[in-house]
Structure 1
């Protein structure tokens, strides 16, 4: 029994030596900050490290199953991805259950003394209904816009101090300022509004509730914010487009000999109607002329005093020929 206790004590000392804990500059140990997560759900945890360790090996150590998972590796429901450009690696845990409760370690193999250091010690608490959660754990927006994020907490913490913090520099906001506004409705909802976002605002943040309940100092839930450069129009392209449009307006389009020009639909229809009208007009004119030539004229017979008879149209029109008569002077 004594030998077993000595052996256990030795392994505890050895583990603490390998994973010597670090603390934030604010004096809180990572072990006192608890991530409240939903049973059956998933969580992504950022692990920041010093830029000088960009090329060094990093791993995620779990007390739950006592294994190391190095970066860019997936083991079961855990995936660890390194992002040297941001000096961090992320750990995504899926299908969470009660057995996942406990302390975890973000660690770096330094290649110097000490050989391994701990950069973060998140403590997971899996619950059917988390004491602290967010509406969205990953948000992507364009530069210059404003966003509103909502953190939900158990109403038993309504009188506790709440913050919006940035992982990288540990800067926290507890009240309104020029770029961040925080409002607490005291009924379980904390609203964070960030204004005039820039690409430099990209990174990991977290909502925090200062519960001050041993051994937990704070509850927190991580949120990833990605700010993209706003799309700007290509000045040269826009200029060329405007010039082309102006040239099109001021230039008569040339006829393409290889392809027939497009003819508006109304043109052939109009021509057809015009031809039809002309044909109808010609037909009517010919019909009228023919009808006039076939009209029967009624004549009346008129006898003049000299005994000559003449046919006079029934309309009363009388046509005659007058011949000049020269009187003989002797008859006078």
Structure 2
């Protein structure tokens, strides 16, 4: 008799959530350590943004006890509910969980249901993350460490979306890499999402075997300070390299010019004696001891003049370059001043529910 009764109870349980299973999506089984906390996201279908959301505990929804609702929240130290109508996700945060296991329901008025089982155990949870809320920057990467002790297939999924079930994949334009390692005797699945985009903000979950753990990723835009720092660094590289070469040229020219001036410290004069041979033509007589002095100037002065021209040209370009560099930094400074500011690896599907239905979602029971 008992087996038949158990079968009937399971059928009734299935029927209580059948009408709403197409309207709400969440994880199906989570594990939490005693005294720990967890946030459960419930994704609902478009059109139910203004409907009341519920959170209750119990095996059957029709007989469950309502713990919290969005239209009349009561003060609680261990339970809170929040609804984000923009992303169509309402979240329930439970704190200081005590030993026990069971079902909770997240329900949307006239929506649908899905169930979740939560187990609270002594010691370390079988699947957990250090932080459920992770922040990244657009264009960069973010890493999530999923610590686990159970076995089975592993994957990384977006709530209400697709999954990456192999070592590499893609989710909404972001590259995903999954890697399992053994660190300090603990098994860890490292999830790395790179080339982040703003649309990658949302709820995800890592899964190992039959357990899942939800994680929220927030992608922020790079601040103006970060962008200008990169721009300034690139500009410095572009400007300083040619300027350094110019300084080397000037230094070489100065050294050469100094050597030439030193060699030319005394005038180079060549004395030559010219002998006059008498010919048949009438020539003016010259004294026998007459000597003609001929001064020959070497090319040193011409070289000095050429080097001086090169030096002046280099100095002119140096001044021009310094001016351009100063103008560039003044422009960047003005921009900063004006604009500175700082196994279950198959995701549940969302489908439209029939009018008049109530959206339900189960989660494991909190034994207090």
**Greater RCO (Cα-Cα under 8 Å, separation 6 or more):** 2
DSSP 3-state at the match of 2:330 = helix
Size of the alignment, in residue pairs?
Answer: 215
Query: CA 1:151 to 1:84, structure 2 compared with 1: closer, same or farther past 3 Å?
Result: same
In structure 2, what is the equivalent of residue 242 of structure 1?
A: 330
Matched, 1:224 2:216: yes
Matched, 1:176 2:165: no
- CA deviations 1:201-257 (Å, max 9, x no partner) are 1111111012xxxxxxx201111100011113699xx999825989xxxxxxxxxxx
DSSP 3-state at the match of 2:224 = coil
Query: CA 1:172 to 1:139, structure 2 compared with 1: closer, same or farther past 3 Å?
Result: same
Is contact 1:54–1:84 with CA below 8 Å preserved after alignment? Answer: yes
Is contact 1:74–1:80 with CA below 8 Å preserved after alignment? Answer: no
1:144 equivalent among 135, 139, 142: 139
Q: Rg bigger for which structure?
A: 1
**TM-score, structure 1 as length reference:** 0.56
DSSP 3-state at the match of 1:230 = coil
DSSP 3-state at the match of 1:200 = helix
Unaligned residue ranges in structure 2 (runs of 5+): 1-7, 233-326, 335-368
In structure 2, what is the equivalent of residue 60 of structure 1?
A: 55
Matched, 1:196 2:190: no
Is contact 2:23–2:44 with CA below 8 Å preserved after alignment? Answer: no
Cα distance in 2 between the residues matched to 1:108 and 1:180: 32
In structure 2, what is the equivalent of residue 49 of structure 1?
A: 44
How many Å apart are 1:78 and its aligned residue?
A: 1.1
1:127 equivalent among 80, 104, 121: 121
Cα distance in 1 between the residues matched to 2:189 and 2:109: 38
How many Å apart are 1:177 and its aligned residue?
A: 3.0
- CA deviations 1:85-127 (Å, max 9, x no partner) are 110100000110124x2111111112xxxxx521x31110011
In structure 1, what is the equivalent of residue 204 of structure 2?
A: 205
Is contact 1:166–1:204 with CA below 8 Å preserved after alignment? Answer: yes
Cα distance in 2 between the residues matched to 1:196 and 1:136: 21
- CA deviations 1:16-45 (Å, max 9, x no partner) are 5477451699xxx978x3101111011001
- CA deviations 1:22-69 (Å, max 9, x no partner) are 1699xxx978x3101111011001000012111111111211872242
DSSP 3-state at the match of 1:51 = coil
In structure 2, what is the equivalent of residue 288 of structure 1?
A: none
How many Å apart are 1:191 and its aligned residue?
A: 0.7
In structure 2, what is the equivalent of residue 85 of structure 1?
A: 86
Is contact 2:153–2:208 with CA below 8 Å preserved after alignment? Answer: yes
Query: CA 1:79 to 1:230, structure 2 compared with 1: closer, same or farther past 3 Å?
Result: same
1:163 equivalent among 140, 147, 155: 155
Q: Report which of the two has the higher share of strand.
A: 1
Cα distance in 2 between the residues matched to 1:126 and 1:63: 16
DSSP 3-state at the match of 2:199 = helix
Is contact 1:166–1:172 with CA below 8 Å preserved after alignment? Answer: no
Is contact 1:71–1:89 with CA below 8 Å preserved after alignment? Answer: no
Unaligned residue ranges in structure 1 (runs of 5+): 1-8, 111-115, 211-217, 247-332
DSSP 3-state at the match of 1:85 = coil
Deviates more, 1:167-176 or 1:194-203: 167-176
Q: Runs of at least 4 residues of structure 1 off by over 4 A?
A: 12-19, 238-241, 243-246
Query: CA 1:203 to 1:18, structure 2 compared with 1: closer, same or farther past 3 Å?
Result: closer
Cα distance in 2 between the residues matched to 1:15 and 1:169: 24
Matched ranges for 1:273-292 at <5 A: none
DSSP 3-state at the match of 1:225 = strand
Is contact 2:22–2:112 with CA below 8 Å preserved after alignment? Answer: no
2:32 equivalent among 14, 32, 37: 37
